[in-house]
């Protein structure tokens, strides 16, 4: 009898201790269940089961019996996926790197023959520096204009980014506006990058060409960065002459297309959407609009250099925004 009474006392103490432990460490729902008895516990278990079922349903919707389906991502940070975009004809817009309102029609009527005659010593240094860079490029690529275009665009996309970045930092330091030039230069860099993305659909670089891109980009970025810090007017003049050479290279590209030396294949889909080209556009149409872009960048950079030559800063003249 005494042993049974002692065991009963121990069980009561153990039950009370467990109650205090669960009441301290368990979740609010669990504490409510402990306090409310079997009914509350049953309600909590049913809620947990429903939540588990919901998770399983979401997984099933994502997998779809082995087939991957698109599921909207709800972000804790309040960033929601945008609604599906469509073209003017109602078809789905498939590009995430640019939107329909960022597309444009290139001005192919732009004067392609413009040339800034180097008069000052600084201009002559910029001109002959660019000319000296063309010689090894001609030897390396010869008339493989698809790969040549890719190499050219990996370099051409650097100055706009560097110039825009330095003007951005200058604007922050001096608490002043930039006259729209930050946006104009960054738009130029983005446009040149889209040229590269387009030609990647036409020609794939070889491994040693990729290695060359890494080397050239690393050297050119640092050289242009310090050059822009020392003399922005020299830096913009260099880019102006680089763009003149780009116009010349794309003109030669078009000649080979006309002569049948390069197949005039259908235009990549990304180019058709980006430049608003007709559905039956060809590589020749793509090269034509890219050349027009380069001519526009030529004019913008020569103009920027002229502004500095006249003793003014870029913020004093409105930037040519709106072409892209």
Buried b (16+ CB within 10 A) or exposed e, 58-90: eeeeeeeeeeeeeeeeeeeeeeeeeeeeeeeee
Contacts of 253 (CB under 8 A, 6+ apart): 145, 148, 149, 262, 287
Predicted confidence band at 40 (pLDDT cuts at 50, 70, 90)?
very low
Annotated binding residues: 153, 192, 195, 243, 294, 297
Give the angle 258-260-263 at the CA atoms, nearest 5°: 105
Residue 210 has φ and ψ, to the nearest 5°, of -65, -40
Query: Residue 278 half-sphere exposure, CB side, CA atoms within 13 Å?
Result: 5
Whole-number average pLDDT of the chain: 80
Which of 23-32, 152-161, 209-218 bottoms out in mean pLDDT, i.e. has the lowest? 23-32
* Percent of the chain with pLDDT strictly greater than 90: 47
End-to-end CA distance of the chain: 96
pLDDT tier for residue 287 given thresholds of 50, 70 and 90: very high
pLDDT of residue 59: 53
pLDDT at 49: 46
Instruction: Write down the pLDDT at residue 266.
Output: 94
| 53-78 confidence digits (pLDDT tens) | 455 545 544 444 445 555 556 667 77
Tokens of 16: 């009370």
Contact 198, 135 (CB under 8 A): no
Please, which pLDDT band fits residue 191 given cuts at 50, 70 and 90? very high
Binding residues for Fe cation: 153, 192, 195, 243, 294, 297
d(CA 249, CA 189): 19
Average pLDDT over residues 199-206: 80
Can you give the pTM of this predicted structure? 0.73
């Amino acid at each position: 009898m005494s042993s049974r009474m002692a065991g009963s006392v121990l069980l009561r103490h153990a039950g009370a201790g467990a109650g205090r432990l669960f009441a301290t460490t368990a979740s609010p729902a669990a504490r409510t269940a402990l306090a409310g008895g079997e009914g509350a516990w049953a309600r909590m278990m049913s809620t947990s089961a429903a939540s588990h079922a919901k998770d399983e349903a979401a997984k099933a919707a994502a997998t779809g019996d082995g087939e991957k389906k698109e599921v909207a991502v709800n972000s804790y940070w309040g960033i929601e996926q945008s609604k599906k975009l469509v073209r003017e004809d109602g078809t789905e817009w498939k590009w995430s790197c640019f939107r329909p309102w960022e597309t444009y029609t290139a001005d192919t009527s732009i004067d392609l023959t413009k040339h800034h005659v180097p008069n000052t010593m600084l201009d002559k240094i910029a001109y002959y520096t660019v000319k000296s860079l063309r010689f090894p490029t001609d030897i390396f690529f010869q008339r493989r204009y698809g790969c040549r275009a890719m190499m050219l665009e990996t370099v051409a996309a650097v100055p706009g980014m560097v110039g825009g970045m330095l003007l951005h930092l200058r604007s922050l330091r001096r608490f002043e506006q930039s006259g729209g030039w930050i946006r104009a230069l960054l738009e130029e860099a983005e446009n040149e990058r889209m040229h590269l993305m387009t030609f990647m659909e036409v020609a794939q670089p070889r491994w040693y060409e990729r290695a060359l891109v890494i080397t050239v980009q690393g050297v050119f970025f640092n050289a242009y960065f310090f050059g822009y810090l020392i003399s922005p007017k020299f830096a913009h003049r260099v880019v102006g002459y680089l763009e003149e050479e780009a116009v010349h290279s794309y003109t030669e590209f078009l000649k080979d297309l006309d002569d049948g030396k390069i197949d005039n294949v259908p235009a990549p889909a990304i180019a058709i959407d980006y430049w608003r080209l007709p559905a039956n556009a060809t590589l020749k149409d793509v090269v034509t609009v890219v050349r027009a872009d380069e001519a526009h960048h030529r004019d913008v950079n020569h103009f920027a250099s002229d502004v500095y030559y006249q003793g003014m800063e870029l913020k004093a003249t409105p930037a040519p925004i709106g072409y892209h």
